[in-house]
Structure 1
Amino acid sequence: MSGSKRVAVVTGSNKGIGYAIVRGLCKQFQGDVILTARNEANGKAALKKLNAEGLKPVFHQLDITDVASVQRMRDFLHKNYGGLDVLVNNAAIAYKSAATEPFSEQAVVTMATNFWGTLNACNVLFPLLRPHARVINVSSRLGSSTASRCTQELQKRFLDTELSLAKVEQLMKEFVASAKAGNLKAKGWPEQAYGVSKIGVTLMTIVQQRQLNADKRPDIVVNSCCPGYVATDMTSHMGQKTIDEGADTPLYLALLPPNTASPKGEFVCERKITKIF
Structure 2
Amino acid sequence: MTTKKIAVALEYAIVKGLCEKFEGLVYLTARNEERGKASVAKLKELGFSPLFHQLDIKDQPSVDRFKEYIKTQHGGLDLLVNNAAIAYKMDATESFGEQAENTIAVNYFGTLRVCNALFPLLRTNGRVVNVSSSAGHLSRIPSVDLRAKFSDANLTVENLNKLMEKFVKDAKENKHQQEGWGNSSYGVSKVGVSALTVIQQRIFDKEQPNRNISVNSVHPGYVDTDMTSHKGPLTIEEGARAPLYLSLDSNLKGKYVWFDSHVVDWYGASAP
Q: Does 1:271 align with 2:227?
A: no
Q: How do 1:82-161 residues align onto structure 2 when only pairs under 5 Å count?
A: 82-144=75-137, 147-161=139-153
Match of 1:17? 10
Q: 1:148 to 1:48 in 2, by over 3 A?
A: closer
The answer as to 2:225 corresponding to 1:211 is: no
Q: 1:52 aligns with which of 36, 42, 45?
A: 45
Deviation per CA, 1:154-189: give whole Å up to 9, x if none: 111111111111121111111000001111122111
Which residue matches 1:200? 192
Runs of at least 4 residues off by over 6 Å? none
Q: CA deviation at 1:148?
A: 3.5
**1:190 is aligned to 2:182:** yes
What runs of 5+ residues in structure 1 fail to find an aligned partner? 1-12
Q: Secondary structure of 1:184's match?
A: coil
- Structure 1 residue 241 corresponds to structure 2 residue 234: yes
Q: Distance in 1 between matches of 2:222 and 2:33?
A: 27
Distance 2:223 2:231 in 1: 7
Could you tell me whether the CA contact under 8 Å between 2:141 and 2:188 is conserved in 1? no
Alpha-carbon deviations, 1:19-74, whole Å to 9, x = none? 10000000000000001111111111111100110001000000000011111111
1:144, CA displacement in angstroms? 1.7
Alignment partner, residue 3 of structure 2: none
Q: Which residue of 2 aligns with 1:6?
A: none
Any conservation in 1 of the 2:11–2:83 contact (CA below 8 Å)?
yes
Q: Is the 8 A contact 1:209 1:221 kept in 2?
A: yes
Q: How high is the TM-score relative to the length of structure 1? A: 0.91
State TM-score, norm by structure 2. 0.93
Letter in 2 for 1:166: E
User: Deviation digits for residues 128-154 of structure 1, max 9, x if unmatched?
Assistant: 000010000000011227x43421111
2-structure distance, mates of 1:217, 1:56: 32
Structure 2 equivalent of residue 222 of structure 1: 215
Aligned letter for 2:257? Answer: V
Aligned residues: 260
Q: After alignment, is 102-111 or 183-192 more displaced?
A: 183-192
Alignment deviations for residues 172-216 of structure 1 (CA, whole Å, 9 cap, x no partner): 111000001111122111110000000000000000000001122
Kindly indicate whether the alpha-carbon contact (under 8 Å) linking 2:217 and 2:255 is maintained by their aligned counterparts in 1. Answer: yes
Question: What secondary structure, in the 3-state scheme, does the structure 2 residue paired with 1:130 have?
Answer: strand
Report the RMSD for the aligned CA atoms in angstroms.
1.3
